[in-house]
Amino acid sequence: MPRVTLYVGDDLKARMDEVGEGVNWSGVAQRAFREAISIHSVRADDSRMEEVIERLKASKERYEDREFEFGKKKGAEWAKAEAEYYELSEVATFYVYPITYGFKRRTLEELIDPEGVIDEREWTEFWEKRYGRGTPSSSFIRGFMEGAAEIFYEVADRL
């Protein structure tokens, strides 16, 4: 694969260093390059739908990445401040072995509340507090589970 040298300002580089290795900067740059190329191509010839598709794919990927990172942060916060042992254990175990259910809101709710004690209104409040709206995306849910699982496995051997 060819290499490209990219220059960024000192302040941006410092902020990237703060994030550390949690972000694939090469992937971030590649998505941005694909999007810029697609936008340029579409502006040059609006009949080229492949470029529209590529631009929207890049946009979708950015959206899903943001949702995942936001969910991961909120999942870790929930795990540290509110989660009960059994809830966190179930979420962490499922995250490692998601079987075929995937990362859906209802699946996570059933892991946290297997008896179905929490009603829909309370779940809506739960998600609005953490997500800002009622129905989180599957990327957010996957991130939420990962963030919670990381906290659980970090402390599990001391419980």
pLDDT digits (tens, 9 = 90+) for 27-40: 888 888 887 877 77
What are the CA-CA distances from residue 17 to residues 13, 23, 25, 48, 62 (Å)?
6, 10, 11, 38, 20
Domain ranges for the chain: 10-158
pLDDT digits (tens, 9 = 90+) for 104-150: 888 888 888 888 899 888 988 989 988 887 789 889 999 999 999 99
Helix/strand/coil for 77: helix
What are the CA-CA distances from residue 93 to residues 89, 99, 121 (Å)?
6, 11, 27
